[in-house]
Amino acid sequence: MRLAFILYKYFPFGGLQRDFLRIAAECQRRGHAVRVYTLKWEGSVPAGFDLRVAPVAARSNHRRNEKFAAWIADDLKKQPADKTIGFNKMPGLDFYYAADPCFEEKARTLRNPLYRLTARYRHFAAYERAVFGPEARTRILMISATQRPLFEKHYGTPPERFFMLPPGLEQSRRAPANAVEIRTGFRLAFGLDDASPLLLQIGSGFKTKGLDRSLKALAAQPFPRARLIAIGQDNPRPFLRQARALGLANRVRILEGRDDIPRFLLGADLLIHPAYNENTGTVLLEALAAGLPVLTTDVCGYAHYIAEADAGIVLPSPFAQAELERALTTMLASAPARQRWSRNGLAYAERPELYALPQRASDIILSA
């Protein structure tokens, strides 16, 4: 079959982008032709992918998205595809990979009511309805069980159009046989001794991921040698200013997205991820598989895996900064507890269902 995959932007370090790439590659491996429509592509293009970058531009994101959708529709008329698979919400999709949370829920609970009078709101609400409305035909590949009730509440989406996917943990994130050697080399390279605990935060979109919360929590600790490294595609300047204001200028580093994340997972002492909202949070499972204890919030779709594995601490809602600071103190103060959480995570990572997302998604796309 000819499969058209659609996403607004591809860059190598985004969770949605990595899931797209693995699903598309799995479909290609099974003998199907992969065509990709996007507005921007960063990084190498896999062999055999028919990449089509739309030559559209606009002053606003929503107007750009509308031009993009129209350009795709015109191209598909000239060269039809058997199925279209979207990784962002838009009209005309056969399948939608639901990596983003419910826009309508956020608009009604986190925004001023006047926001719903804007052109931006009308655009994103219409594009979400084009996927989830009862009159639509799009099949929905869900990765977060917590989001489905919200879509059903706002749109009355028929249940038969939802398909729940397992997690998409990559085998490369599992701790290798030489994990101790990698950790030793990493800590030597970053000037870390046993008395310098390292907090790690990973994820593009620092505000959503709660980096501001992490910085305040670090500043409140009675461990002056504790350090934090944050990694992601975002503007670091506001958070570097916050770090300086908190007296953390020499204890915080913010790095751009990179392809050696497993090295950081093995070299750190805990992953901190106090997100404001998070559809899934694949990095939580990546930490678990690397044996890195996790401190996170229960709003993350994958936080329940940390609780089930007993691989760290999951903070309940509503969020309280003081609870985050107390939990971080507890984790930093007890090396035996971190070792126990590490062992539990490594044991839980033996489960094969944690790695099955690309195969299951491809099964659904190709058989429906």
What's the pLDDT tens digit per position in 185-196? 999 999 999 889
> What is 2-169+355-367's CATH superfamily?
Glycogen Phosphorylase B; (3.40.50.2000)
Q: 200 forms bridges with which residues in the sheet?
A: 229, 271
Return the domain boundaries, the chain: 2-169+355-367, 171-348
Digit-coded pLDDT (tens) for 57-67:
999 999 999 99
pLDDT score of 14 more than 90: no
How far the first Cα of the chain sits from its last, in Å, is 12
pLDDT score for 146:
87
Distance between CA atoms of residues 21 and 17, nearest Å: 6
Sheet strand arrangement including 227-231: 252-255, 227-231, 198-202, 270-273, 294-297, 312-315
* pLDDT value at 133 more than 90: yes
Q: What is the 3-state secondary structure (H, E, C) of the chain?
A: CEEEEECCEECCCCHHHHHHHHHHHHHHHCCCEEEEEECEECCCCCCCCEEEECCCCCCCHHHHHHHHHHHHHHHHHHCCCCEEEECCCCCCCCEEEECCCCHHHHHHHCCCHHHHHCHHHHHHHHHHHHHHCCCCCCEEEECCCCCHHHHHHHHCCCHHHEEECCCCCCHHHCCCCCHHHHHHHHHHHCCCCCCCCEEEEECCCHHHHCHHHHHHHHHCCCCCCCEEEEECCCCCHHHHHHHHHCCCCCCEEEECCCCCHHHHHHHCCEEEECCCCECCCHHHHHHHHHCCCEEEECCECCHHHHHHHCCEEEECCCCCHHHHHHHHHHHHHCHHHHHHHHHHHHHHCCCHHHHCHHHHHHHHHHHC
pLDDT, tens digit (0-9, with 9 covering 90-100), for 264-291: 999 999 999 999 989 899 999 999 999 9
Domains 2-169+355-367 and 171-348 share a fold: yes
CA 301 to chain CA centroid, Å, is 10
Please give the model's pTM, rounded to 2 decimal places.
Answer: 0.88
- The model's pLDDT over 197-207, given as tens digits with 9 standing for 90+, comes to 999 999 999 99
Q: What is the pLDDT of residues 66-106, one digit of tens each?
A: 999 999 999 999 999 999 999 999 999 999 999 999 999 99
CATH for 171-348, options being 1.10.150.20, 2.40.10.230, 2.60.40.10, 3.40.50.2000 = 3.40.50.2000
